[in-house]
Chain A
Amino acid sequence: MVIPTGKEIRMEKKEVLVLRDILGTNKKIAAEIRKKLRSKGILSVNLMSSPGSGKTTLLESLAGRFRGRFRMAVIEGDIETEFDAERIRAKGIPTWQITTGGACHLEAKMVGKVLAEIPADLDFLFIENVGNLVCPASYDLGESLRFVLLSSPEGDDKPKKYPEAFLSSHVLVLTKVDLIPHLPFDPSRARREALETNPSLEVFEVSALTGQGMGVLEAFLLSALEKLRSGHA
């Protein structure tokens, strides 16, 4: 029989200051990725949107436009399947699929794992995030530019309803604008409310299927690449 001596219950209670950002580890890995990609002169773009907004179709269109002129690679983030990666590979683009197995977003460490396999002589690295307009906004992936896509069928009220995604992005791409005549979608409202949330957003209107607006978006990407390489980004 053990007789309590009282020693084991003489416990000191203490308050410990922590003051650490919960996302700090992700931010640190992201900063390393960004530095590595920039030093190689690669412009990295993180594409965020709801499922079905046209991220993969936009990349297919860019792949066609860049063919023979610029080198791009793609990291595809999905919960399951390699469907998207197969679509991009069919365009002759080197593509890495990350299946998150349930997670609703990509994290910097997932991108870090595939980075070593990515060719060093690229111009553009596109990271297609998991389709979700909420969670991906919290995770820096080491991108130079963050795109948020909003397709006309989703509705023009999304910037106010999902402010984090619009707040944290550099670029808003309104997609499927060829469908606007058939929809109660007001592109000027979407644009205005997105800019009220984040006044520094660059806004583009495109249809990746018809090619409308794609030239302007392409020119923007090329000028961003030039700025990155001249050290002004």
Chain B
Amino acid sequence: MHEMSLVTDLFEILEEKARDEKALRVTAVVLRVGRLSGVVPELLETAFDTFKKGTIASRAELRIEVVSLKVRCRSCGKESMTDEPVFVCPWCASPSLEIVEGQELMFQRMEIEKDD
């Protein structure tokens, strides 16, 4: 359960960006969370809703896009997608795979309101 630490880091970025943009408030936060990032989206939501109170994002909605695992085979070079952490290439059965996507914890974008 390290979601609270992650949300602390998330808010550092959020507040910096909100200042740069002269935002009055942040209304939505969009994250890309990899299937193998070690993070549970529901726990991240709980941590976010706890942390946002009294901040510029106090009414912000958190949207999480879960990124499936995408692997590339080191033997045949083909890429495949999977929802389960299986580590065998479906094309050639080689166990030697590298992860292309699915480990990220990316703050993609946010929606703000500012003075006209």
Contacts and interface: CB of A to CB of B under 8 A. Distances in A.
A19 B108 contact: yes
Given A11-B114, A167-B99, A137 B17 contact: no
A21 interface: yes
Given A16-B109, A163-B85, A199 B96 contact: yes
Interface of B: 1-2, 5-6, 9-10, 12-13, 17, 21, 23-24, 27, 31, 36-39, 74, 85, 87-88, 95-97, 99, 103-116
Interface in A17-35: 17-26
A105 interface: yes
Contacts of B107: 18-22
Contacts of A22: 6, 9-10, 13, 31, 105-107
A16 B112 contact: yes
Contacts of A195: 95
Contacts of A10: 115-116
A196 interface: yes
A23 B38 CA distance: 12
Given A105-B2, A164-B38, A23 B115 contact: no
Contact of B38 (A17, A103, A135, A196): A135
B110 A11 contact: no
A14 interface: yes
A195 B111 CA distance: 43
A117 interface: no
B1 A135 contact: yes
Contacts of B103: 164, 167
B106 A13 contact: no
Given A11-B24, A11-B116, A12-B116, A20 B38 contact: no
A14 B38 contact: no
A145 interface: no
B108 A21 contact: no
A196 to B, nearest CB: 5
A167 B36 contact: yes
Which 9 A-B residue pairs are closest in the complex by CB-CB distance? A135-B2, A10-B116, A22-B105, A196-B95, A196-B87, A164-B38, A11-B113, A18-B107, A138-B38
Given A104-B2, A164-B36, A15 B106 contact: no
A104 B6 CA distance: 12
Contacts of A18: 13, 17, 107-110
Contacts of B108: 17-19
